[in-house]
A and B are shown apart, each in its own frame.
Chain A
Amino acid sequence: MIGDSSVFDTLVGGYWIPLVMKAAAVLVVFLVVPLAVGYMEHKVLAHMQARLGPMEAGAFHGWAQLVADGVKFIQKEDVVPAAADPGVFSLAPAVVLIPYIVTLVAIPFGPRLYALDLDVGVFFVLAMSSVGVIGILMAGWASANKFSLIGALRAAAQLIAYELPLVLVAAAVVMQAGSMSLLQITEAQSHYWNILYPWQLVGFVIFMMAAVAELTRPPFDMPIADSEIIFGAYTEYTGLKFAFFLLSEYGGIVVMSAVASVLYLGGYQPLPGLSIIPGFLWMFGKIFALSFVIIWLRATFPRLREDQLQRFAWVGLTPLALALILVTSVYKVGV
């Protein structure tokens, strides 16, 4: 079932042409799918609050609203505060955005639809997704604004706390599949998706909670708590740089949903009897379903308090994730 190489390598020969095609494909996915998720957030939140949301831009249910937003952001003045550190201030949005783009390289969207099958795919994805917070710290410090700094510190503390359960439950999946390659993990679920095992279901819930916390989305959005610290590390940003932060938030939702789909929901594997639908549609369907859940959480839960959040990670999730590894290893050795 596994094609021995990516579709990009078999379509045309050579080294450089497939490479450029892969890079272009990754960039297109990164520019299109997060915008779709952003539009979905507008619409889903609106309907959950009994409103209509954007209806004008692009005529049909305001589908072009985010494109119009992007054009607006480009036109805005790019303000750098007088007391700011200009170099670090300008570099920060790129440091937040680029790791998420790079992460997409390793994610398989179909049996042969991937850019790179890394031997250590899970590790690569988790390593990259933790780099972005350096950009948030840079943004918060360089803004020369105490609210920005508090927001950045909260983001860093949150990432350190939730990175641990995230990596631990991913390790449990790796143990079960016997490989760290995202492609192999997907193939290992061709009969039973990981979520069907009771302990991996717990792992899935932990993974999603930790992912939402890493993305600083509600109910874990203390780093940008608007009623306390304005907009956290992004307070001083305007125009295109602010748009980059927004794009990286939606890009992060897409990447985390994609990783969760691969680890727990079988990636591009179809439901039994429905294998007529191609794999990449399954993968995108799962990504959008999980993105919907993440958006749904925002409409449902109030914001946690900072100390509640830390306690939840260290006392709740981390020991549970360790127990999960124990259960998985017993299953792996025993069965």
Chain B
Amino acid sequence: MNAHEYAFVVVATIGSIAAVAVVTARNVVHAALYLVVTLAAVGITFLLLGAEFVGWVQILIYVGAIVILFLFGLMLTKAPIGRDALDYQNRAVGAVVSVVVALGLGSLILQAWPLASTPAAPSAPGGSDVLGRALFNTYVLPFEAVSFLLLAALIGAIVLARRDEGT
């Protein structure tokens, strides 16, 4: 194993432990804080793979914005953020869903990159330059479709959240 692989093992272990802690934590705020660790570990994994831009975007968007919105929403609404321990009884449903998702994603990854194939070198160029060219040349149509979808979702959220002033 080289230094990259050691680093990956360490980061993946920390991220996985934190991911388990997210669902086993008895406190909502603790769960959200463990989620920070998991998402940061995913970001660092991208960095280790040489995808600098994606890695930092992951940290800016997920750690810097999404989790803050989570915590913000938890603390602003009537969510139980006190010291009381919470427990959700539907463990069986959760187990089934997580196993199905893990199997689905695992088989997808195995299909895309069979075990026999050589993995890509960790230092493969993944800077903003390569990513930008791919996004705005090869994949410009899916990119625009996604942005249109997100815009529609945003407008929909605003319409739903808006109080009816006239009626």
Q: Which residues of A contact B (CB under 8 A)?
A: 83, 85, 88, 118-120, 123-124, 126-128, 130-131, 133-134, 137-138, 141, 144, 149, 152-153, 156-157, 159-160, 163, 180
Inter-chain pairs besides A88-B30, A153-B72, 4 sampled, C-beta below 8 Å:
A120-B128, A137-B71, A152-B75, A160-B72
Q: Do B57 and A88 touch across chains, with their CB atoms under 8 A apart? A: no
Q: Which residues of B contact A (CB under 8 A)?
A: 29-30, 33, 36, 52-53, 56-57, 59-60, 63-65, 67-69, 71-72, 75-76, 81, 83, 127-129
Interface of A is mostly: helix
Contact (A134, B67) CB under 8 Å given A118-B52, A120-B127, A127-B56? yes
Interface of B is mostly: helix
Task: List, in ascending order, chain B residues with CB within 8 A of A141's CB.
Answer: 29, 71, 75, 81
Q: Do B56 and A123 touch across chains, with their CB atoms under 8 A apart? A: yes
Q: Do B68 and A85 touch across chains, with their CB atoms under 8 A apart? A: no
CA distance A83 to B76 in the complex (A): 20
Minimum CB–CB distance for A48 against chain B, Å = 34
Q: Taking CB as reference atom, which chain B residue is nearest A179? A: B128
Q: Do A131 and B56 touch across chains, with their CB atoms under 8 A apart? A: no
Q: Taking CB as reference atom, which chain A residue is nearest B53? A: A120
Q: Taking CB as reference atom, which chain B residue is nearest A137? A: B71
Contact (A156, B68) CB under 8 Å given A118-B52, A141-B29? yes
Q: Do A153 and B59 touch across chains, with their CB atoms under 8 A apart? A: no
Task: List, in ascending order, chain A residues with CB within 8 A of B65's CB.
Answer: 130, 160, 163
Q: Identify the 5 closest CB pairs spanning chains A and B, nearest first.
A: A130-B64, A127-B60, A119-B127, A127-B59, A156-B72
Contact (A131, B53) CB under 8 Å given A88-B33, A152-B75, A156-B72? no
CA distance A153 to B69 in the complex (A): 10
CA distance A119 to B60 in the complex (A): 16
A sample of 16 cross-chain residue pairs with beta-carbon separation below 8 angstroms, ordered by A number, consists of A88-B33, A118-B52, A119-B53, A120-B52, A127-B63, A131-B64, A137-B72, A137-B75, A138-B33, A141-B71, A144-B83, A152-B75, A153-B72, A153-B75, A160-B72, A163-B65
Task: List, in ascending order, chain A residues with CB within 8 A of B57's CB.
Answer: 123, 127
Task: List, in ascending order, chain A residues with CB within 8 A of B71's CB.
Answer: 134, 137, 141, 156
Q: Taking CB as reference atom, which chain B residue is nearest A144? A: B83
CA distance A224 to B76 in the complex (A): 18
Contact (A149, B63) CB under 8 Å given A156-B68, A160-B69? no
Minimum CB–CB distance for A54 against chain B, Å = 36
CA distance A153 to B63 in the complex (A): 16
Q: Do B128 and A119 touch across chains, with their CB atoms under 8 A apart? A: yes
Q: Do B75 and A119 touch across chains, with their CB atoms under 8 A apart? A: no
Q: Which one, B36, B68, B127, contacts A159 given CB within 8 A? A: B68
Task: List, in ascending order, chain A residues with CB within 8 A of B127's CB.
Answer: 119-120
